[in-house]
Amino acid sequence: MLPTRLGTTAMDGVPPWLRTLLTKTVGGVPLLVPVVGIVAIVAILGVYVLGSPSAPAVVRSPAAPPTGRALPAADQPPDPCTLLNIHEVAFVFGVGLTTERSNLAMADGAGRQCSWSTGTPPITTVSLLVVSAPSAQASRGVTIDESYAGASGSLTDVQDLPGLGETARYSAGKRALYVKLPTAWFALTVTGGVSATRLQGALTGAARTVLNRYPH
C-alpha cells in the first residue's frame, strides 16, 4: 500500500486535466508520450523557421510611362540632320566638327534632334531640335504655341530677334536660339568653345538656313 499512498501523495495539488494526461493510456501507451512527441516536433519546426533566411523582398519594376513609346512616323517632325549639314555648321560656328549624331524617334518627347560635335577635347557641340504641331499634340497633348511657350519660357536674359520666323528668342546665357514657325518651332543650342562674340551671329545664320529648308 505504500506505493499507492506515495503515488496519491505525488498527485496531490495536480490539476485534474494534467492528472488524466499523466495516468491515461491509449493502446497501452501512456497518453503523455504522443503529446510530448507533438510538442517536440512543433518546437523543432519553429526553430527551423526562425533560423531560416527570410525570402528576398519582391522589387517591382516601375510602370512604363504612357508616352514611353516613340511617336508614329506620321507624327514625327522632319529630320533635323537634313536641315543643316556638318560642313555648314562647322563653317558658321568656326569649329572643327567631325561627328554627327541624330535622334530621329525620341521616346516620351515631341522633338527630333541632330547634334554635331568635335572629335577631341575641348568638346564643342551644336544641336538642332525640331518640334512640329502633330508631334507636340501626339506626345504632350498641347498646341504648338503652348509647346513653344513652355520650352522658351525657361530662357534667361532673353532678347527678341526680328526677322526670324514668327518670333525668335535668343539667350546668351543659355547659348540658345528658339524660333517659332506657324506649325513648328526649332531650337539651336551650343555647348563648348564658341566665343561669345561669334555666338549670336552663328546661331542666327544657322537659323536662316533651317528656315529656308523647312518644309512648308
For residues 134 and 116, the answer to whether their CB atoms sit within 8 Å is no
Residue 67 has pLDDT above 50, yes or no: no
With cell 528656315, the residue in question is 211
CA-closest candidate to residue 132, choices 148, 154, 116: 148
Set of cell numbers at residue 84:
543643316
pTM over 0.85: no
Give me the residue spans of the domains in the chain.
2-51, 73-213
Cα 21 from chain centroid (whole Å): 66
Report pLDDT for 20.
Answer: 60
- Band of the pLDDT at 151, cuts 50, 70, 90? very high
For residues 171 and 187, the answer to whether their CB atoms sit within 8 Å is no
Could you give the CA distance from residue 162 to residue 23 in angstroms, rounded to a whole number?
108
Report pLDDT for 73.
Answer: 78
Give the number of other Cβ atoms within 10 Å of residue 31's Cβ: 14
**pLDDT (average), residues 130-148:** 92
Pick 54 or 42 by higher pLDDT.
Answer: 42
**pLDDT (average), residues 158-187:** 96
> Which of 12-21, 91-100, 122-131, 199-208 has the lowest average pLDDT?
12-21
For residues 103 and 112, the answer to whether their CB atoms sit within 8 Å is yes
Fold of the domain built from segment(s) 73-213 = Protein Transport Mog1p; Chain A (3.40.1000)
For residues 109 and 141, the answer to whether their CB atoms sit within 8 Å is no
> Which of 2-11, 104-113, 177-186, 189-198 has the lowest average pLDDT?
2-11
Amino acid identity, position 86: I
Set of cell numbers at residue 60:
517591382
Could you give the CA distance from residue 25 to residue 5 in angstroms, rounded to a whole number?
21
* pLDDT tens digits for range 8-37: 444 555 566 556 655 665 555 555 545 445
Residue 118 has pLDDT above 80, yes or no: yes
